Amino acid sequence: MAMTKEERTAKLRELEQKIASKKGIGALYGLVKGMSVTMRTMLKPAITTQYPHVKPDLPERTRGVIALKEENCTVCMLCSRECPDWCIYIDSHKDVMPPKTPGARARTRNVLDRFAIDYALCMYCGICVDVCPFDALFWSPHFEYSTDDLSTLTHEMDTLAKWMDFVPPPPPLEDGAEDPVELSKEAVSYGAPAVAAPAATATAAPAAPPRTEPAPSQEGAAADSATPAGGTTGAAETQAPPAREERHDEEPPQIDQEAYDAAIAQGKPDREARALAKKAWILKRRKAQS
């Protein structure tokens, strides 16, 4: 008669139900059972931990306090605006940077001057962490930052940045997962063409308007010089641009004289007549192409 543990507990439960449903005895049984519960709890070790003496054993990603990864912040102000308590203070100024290409417009950039969270107001909803598009705010497992004064509960950028040290690094991807987008694609370098472009425009400018062919041809030349072997790779590279070239090769629309004259004859103003003539010219070209 070997009973499994489940069977035994089920049988005991059944017996207990039977006793508890009896009118007089049931109530008495309930009283005794209550006493046994408190006594058994007393004999078990308490679950309380002696906090200041014994540090609590917290999960790795405990949501203790909000930390700032300063270099990721672009001062977009989303966190500050979404904060239900308005407890995030952000100050910044605009820095003017030299243009990327000579003669272009000077670039501007927001520089973070102050980022402070008033923890006297913060209700730890974490909306700021969720809303940050640049991964500048994190939940840090640190929690011992109380102060003895209300005003000093506003913690500034340097403190918030220090709490970043407690944030564990992101966990490794599981086996077979796709690499993050940043790693899988060829690193798109915005720098190299930007450096190459000035030379291209400088050489091509006198020959033709910059919008048309010179850039592809220059690229082709650069590719050729980079791979002296030429051959098949060179052919493949030269074949790629044409689709773009077709589109960009189109002349700017011109005015169809016939349509213009007709419109003027109808008594239309000059500006409207020009527009109609241009439209007519485009339609004509499209018909000719197809």
Partner 1 sequence: MIFYHFFSNPWAVFALKLAAVFIFFLTAPLVLGYVEHKGLAHMQSRLGPMEAGKFHGWAQLIADGVKFIQKEDIVPDAADRRIFMLAPMIVIIPVSLVFLVIPFGPAAVSCHAPAGAGACGFWGENFDVGIFFVLAISAISVIGMLMAGWASANKFSLIGAIRGAAQLIAYELPLVLAASAVAMQAGTLSLVGIGDAQKAYWFVFPQIAGFIIFVIASLAELSRPPFDMPIADSEIIFGHMTEYTGIRFGLFLLSEYAGIVSLSAIAVVLYLGAWHGFFVPWIPGPIWTLAKIGALSFLVIWLRATYPRLREDQLQKMAWKYLIPIALVNILLTMIFKVVF
Q: Which residues bind partner 1 (CB under 8 A)?
A: 31, 34-35, 37-39, 41-42, 44, 46-48, 50
Token couple for 106 = 């000077």
Q: How far is the CB of 58 from partner 1 (least distance, A)?
A: 19
Distance CA 100, CA 106 (A): 8
Measured from the CB atom, is 27 or 207 closer to partner 1?
A: 27
Let me know the angle formed at the C-alpha of 83 by 134 and 123, rounded to the nearest 5 degrees: 115
Helix (H, G, I), strand (E, B) or coil at 10: helix
Please give the torsion angle defined by the CA atoms of residues 14, 16, 21 and 23, in that order, rounded to the nearest 10 degrees. 150
Q: How far is the CB of 48 from partner 1 (least distance, A)?
A: 4
Distance CA 230, CA 84 (A): 62
Measured from the CB atom, is 46 or 104 closer to partner 1?
A: 46
Measured from the CB atom, is 43 or 183 closer to partner 1?
A: 43
Measured from the CB atom, is 46 or 106 closer to partner 1?
A: 46
Q: Where are the beta strands (DSSP E) in the chain?
A: 65-68, 88-97, 107-118, 137-140, 154-155
Contact 185, 78 (CB under 8 A): no
Q: How far is the CB of 35 from partner 1 (least distance, A)?
A: 5
Measured from the CB atom, is 4 or 48 closer to partner 1?
A: 48
Q: How far is the CB of 46 from partner 1 (least distance, A)?
A: 5
Q: How far is the CB of 172 from partner 1 (least distance, A)?
A: 38
Measured from the CB atom, is 51 or 190 closer to partner 1?
A: 51
Q: Measured in whole angstroms, how far is the alpha carbon of residue 104 from the centre of its chain?
A: 29
Q: How far is the CB of 30 from partner 1 (least distance, A)?
A: 10
Distance CA 70, CA 72 (A): 5
